[in-house]
Amino acid sequence: MPPKLPVLAVTALAVGALGLGVLPANAGEPSPPGSPAAGATPAPEIAPGMLKSISKDLGITAADAKKRVANEQRAVDVEKKLRKKLGAHYGGAWVTGATSKLVVATTDSADRSVIEDEGAEPKVVRNSLAALRAAKDALDTSALKRAPRATSVWAVDVRSNSVLVRAGEPAAAKEFLTRSGAASSLFQVTRSSEQPRTYADDLRGGDAYYSGGSTRCSVGFAVTKGGTDGFVTAGHCGRTGTKTSGHNRAAQGTVRGNSFPGDDYGWVAANSDWRATPYVKGPGAANLSVAGSKETPVGSSVCRSGSTSGWRCGVVEQHDATVTYREGTVHGLSRTSVCAEPGDSGGPFVSGDQAQGTTSGGSGDCSTGGTTYFQPVAEPLAEYGLKLSTS
């Protein structure tokens, strides 16, 4: 029997065969105040190992972890509906609290009842999400002309209703903002010691794949393209045309596409010895199933796994962050409080049973804590015409 695709060796958080059913919000007890309304997509079954990891890493009870994941899954549908209803007034959405209560922002106080009718908590803010994104885009454009000095990360932060800029030298960051031409009132500069780096090829061991015979990274999500099986991973793990080998060092496939910097995604077409599955490797080496790729709101719990540090969980801090690595600037990443280490690059991030993205890089480590960024999975799927392997 051919070996299973190393995507099993890369772990991430999804749902598995040993599922623990999540009850609907109205079964047995009322929904927490501000939780998404009923009628949304049913919450998935959640593997006990995943709930245990979220409980441990986020410091909440197992019962709250169960409610949290169910609420986060329902929040996806409610947010989508409210985004459409609020239109130009929409200021973003996030979840908060131990059990992830959905908060939706608007620039018009008249929208409060519309938001409350969907079971979410309204928050009136000054800036629309569209205005914040336009300001961030101005920074991205400015960075193409001149890389910011010691300004490592900038992203729309819906919770503070600003574009949050993290910099080792705030004065230099403010000059960067001035060059962008965007209104200063849309930005918030904070001093940060972050020095993002990619997580490739530093350490050995664990379930992994190897690019060019030496660079060790982690498989992301299994995909198919026509009759070819393969997987998505980080773009910095190998250039197009590079040969790869699996965790067992057996010949595995070829990098068919990659983008880095600018983006940080790529895909590997596997040879006939490897097959795509809908699994990622979860806590305790259990196979956990991936059912789709709906993006989870800011504040949601998210877990990842890689060939160095294994299974880790945290929360989504911002989406659409621009990150400056030594190798160049990457756009459109999501910032998380999950730790990671060299060799974890390319590994999967999952929320509930939904694929979120692949590990790009970050700061810190899993001994002292850190920050990790992931490349959302939707972009490489669309760019290369790939189909995510799902249950």
Q: What positions carry a catalytic annotation? A: 236, 264, 345
Structural tokens at position 230: 């393969």
Residues 6+ positions from 339 with CB-CB distance below 8 Å: 309, 312, 314, 362, 364, 365, 366, 369, 370, 371, 372
What are the two backbone dihedrals, phi and then psi, of residue 156, each rounded to the nearest 5 degrees? -70, 125
Residue the block writes with tokens 């504040």: 299
Half-sphere exposure of 215 (CA within 13 A, CB side): 20
Q: Which 3 state secondary structure label does DSSP give 281?
A: strand
CA–CA dist 178, 31 (Å, integer): 46
Tell me which residue of 224, 231, 293 sits closest to 258, measured CA to CA.
231
Cα–Cα distances (Å) from 292 to 39, 183, 232, in that order, read 19, 38, 15
The amino acid occupying position 200 is A
Residue 345 and residue 311 in contact, taking contact as beta carbons nearer than 8 Å: no
Helix runs in the chain, H state only = 48-58, 62-86, 112-117, 129-145, 170-180, 378-384
If residue 93 lies in a helix (H) or strand (E), which one and from where to where? strand 90-96
User: DSSP labels for 161-205?
Assistant: TEEEEEESSHHHHHHHHHHHT--GGGEEEEE-----EE--SS---
How far, in whole angstroms, is CA 150 from its chain's centroid?
A: 24
